Structures are given as structure tokens and as C-alpha cells.
A = this chain, B = another copy of it.
Amino acid sequence: MMMQSFQPPRRVLMGPGPSDVGPRVLQAMARPTIGHLDPEFQALMEEIKSALQRLFNAPDHACVPLPAPGTAGMEAAIMNLLEPGDRAVIAVNGAFGGRMADMADRAGATVVTVEHDWGQPVDPARVEAALAEAPTKVLAFVHAETSTGVRSDAATLCGIARKHRALSIVDCVTSLGGIPVDAAAWDADVVYSGTQKCLSAPPGLSPIALSTRAQAAIAGRKEKVRNWLFDFNLLMGYWGGEGGRTYHHTAPINALYGLHEALVVLFEEGQQAAVVRHARAHEALVAGLEATGLRMLVDEAHRLPQLNTVLVPDGIDEAAVRAHVLKTWDLEVGAGLGPLKGKVWRIGLMGASATPWHVRLCLTALCEALAAQGFDADAKAALAAADRRLAA
């Protein structure tokens, strides 16, 4: 077998992540690798920690990028805060809430799930009822459910956790950079994210922020954390910065170059400006989709701009539509997960993929693919509707 160098095809990434990665971030990935204990790398680590505090608005949290994809943030949060004997209330309104519950079970906790229909936001009243039943260590929920395109009310839910003396864990994998994430205003205990969504860096890192309450809870555990790589008692000796670092793992140097550059790019634009850009692209996309007769899964009040779940019309082969746009337009859109499999497309407008160009390409490609299956899709009307929103 002769192996050849891999040359990826051209793609336009409008699925649930990764999103398009811009040339500055790609170039940063290719800079020469240096040692993870090098003084200049340690300065970079400090700069990334500060930048993550700014990104999460978490000036009093300890912030680090975990050396693995977004799921690492979830696993680190759950495994560090929970141990046998602890009660956890976990809101489940999609695939990722369910994953949190599985992890909490592995941590040895007593897990109480508050189940919702997929496509609905987390219901604060039902969560509060579950917290009121018994003393609870952790309330965990997903801010932006990537599987459904739903936004939940993080400020209210974190407030309920505080009221009941539970620590809050907020999954911000898909929200961070696309809608406001504000750990300080929410008074959240652990928030985490991934690099491959609205930050538009390659997948592989999981930024996480821990409040002083969360840090104290971890320091006061009875048992060791069941993970070693994500054990904050060890990790903070490596990333902590006070009085020299303790070797723990080898940081993924080049991935951190990429994250750093993505943050430079984001701060140049401004976080608020990026949020506005996501919102505008979303409004234009929805206007275009609705103009051609398509409908959204989620009520307008709870829609995520960066993750749009579009109902597959009756009689349409949803996989054939995705195959068509991939083949003829190099365009990736996402499929439904779990109970939404075959019923929705997931269209991402994340980071560098949240532009008018992406909206127009996607509408053009989708209408073409739908028309090929006999659906009366009017690309001209869709683009005109999107353009009107973009011009407004």
C-alpha cells in the first residue's frame, strides 16, 4: 500500500460543526512547534487564559483550554464536580443533555433527569421542582442544544441553581461566540465550549471556566476524580501559573496556536459585532427558507441563530438533499440526530460560516436539491427575501 499525502476537497461547512476555518487560523496551525515548557509557550498559555476569561466574561473564573474536543469540557465538568453520594439534576432537551446524564452516572452520582421534548427549551419551573426535592450538588444543562437548535435561559437556570445551593454546569459548546455567554452575569459555576463552532478554529480543544465555588468543591472532594487527564487538581498545576508549572500532559501546541489566532480574529471584530453578524445571517436564512415554503422546527423565541433546524417536507428524501448539495455545491449541511433523524436538516451559521455569502449559497443549493425531488422551491424568491433582510 502506497500512502499519499491527503488533500482535502473544497467544502463549505454549514453543518453543526466544524465551521469554516479562516486562512489566518489555518496559517497559525502551521507555525513551528515549540516545547510546551518553553518560556515563550508559557507566555502564550497565560495570554490564552486571559483571553478565555474575556471570552466567557469570567474575570474571576479559572479558565483553561482542555486538550481534547468539546466533549472533554462536559466530561471534565461532570467528573470533577460529582462523586458517589452526590445528587445531580440534569435537564435533557436533546442529545447533549442525555450525554451529561450518562457521564454523571459514570461519576457515581445519583442522577435525576428532567426530560423535555426535543425542540423545546429547558423549563425552569420543572428544573426548580427537581432541585427542591432533595439537596443537590449540581444542576447541569445545555445553553445551546446542537441537536435541536434550541436556546435555553442560562441566567434563570443558574439563578435557580444558586437559590438551591447547587453548582451550575452550562454547556456552551455551540453558543460561545454566536450568542452572548456571560459567566459573571449568570453567576455560573462551570461553563465550557469547543473550538470548532462559533470560534471557527479546528476541532480539538475545549475551553472551560470554573468559579471559585467550583474550585473549592473540587479541592474538597472525598474521592479522587475518576479521570486523570481532566482532573483539575492536577491540571491547574500545569496551567496554574504560580511559581512554575508541574508537568501533567503535553499541550497540543499547534492547536493552541490556532485557538489563539481565532481569538485574536474574534476580538478584532468584537464579540458584540460577531453576535450581531450571527443574528443577521440567521434572520436572512430563515426569511429565505420560509419564502420557499420551508418551516423551522423551533419556535422563533427559542431559536439559535447559529444552528437552524429546518423541517424536511413530506415526501422529501432528506439524505438525498444533503448528498445533492455536497456533490454539486461542496456544501455540508447536517442531518438530524436521535428522534429528529430524517426529520430535519441542521444548518450551521457559525463563526466564519455566518456570512451573507453562506446564506445565499445555502439557499441556492437547497432550492436546487429540493426542485430535483419535485418540491416547488423558488430560489429567486428565497434569495430576494434573504437579501431584503440583509439590507434592512
Contacts and interface: CB of A to CB of B under 8 A. Distances in A.
Interface stretch (A7-15, A118-126, A210-218): A7-15
A107 B228 CA distance: 10
A246 B225 CA distance: 28
A391 interface: no
A228 B40 contact: no
A253 B203 contact: yes
A24 interface: yes
How many copies make up the complex?
2
Contact of A27 (B30, B72, B250): B30
Nearest to A17: B250
Interface in A252-304: 252-255, 257-258, 260-261, 263-264, 267
B3 A47 contact: yes
Interface of A: 1, 3-11, 13, 15, 17-18, 20-21, 24, 26-41, 44, 47, 50-51, 54, 67-72, 75, 99, 102-103, 105-107, 194, 196, 202-204, 224-229, 247-255, 257-258, 260-261, 263-264, 267, 326, 332, 337
A279 B97 CA distance: 52
Nearest to A323: B39
Majority-rule SS of A interface residues: loop
Nearest to A107: B226
A193 to B, nearest CB: 12
Nearest to A54: B1
Contacts of A107: 226
A44 B9 CA distance: 12
B21 A5 contact: no
A15 B1 contact: no
Contact of A228 (B8, B34, B99, B337): B99
Contacts of A1: 50, 54
Contact of A18 (B28, B33, B71, B261): B33
Most chain B CB within a 10 A radius of its CB, from A31, A99, A107: A31
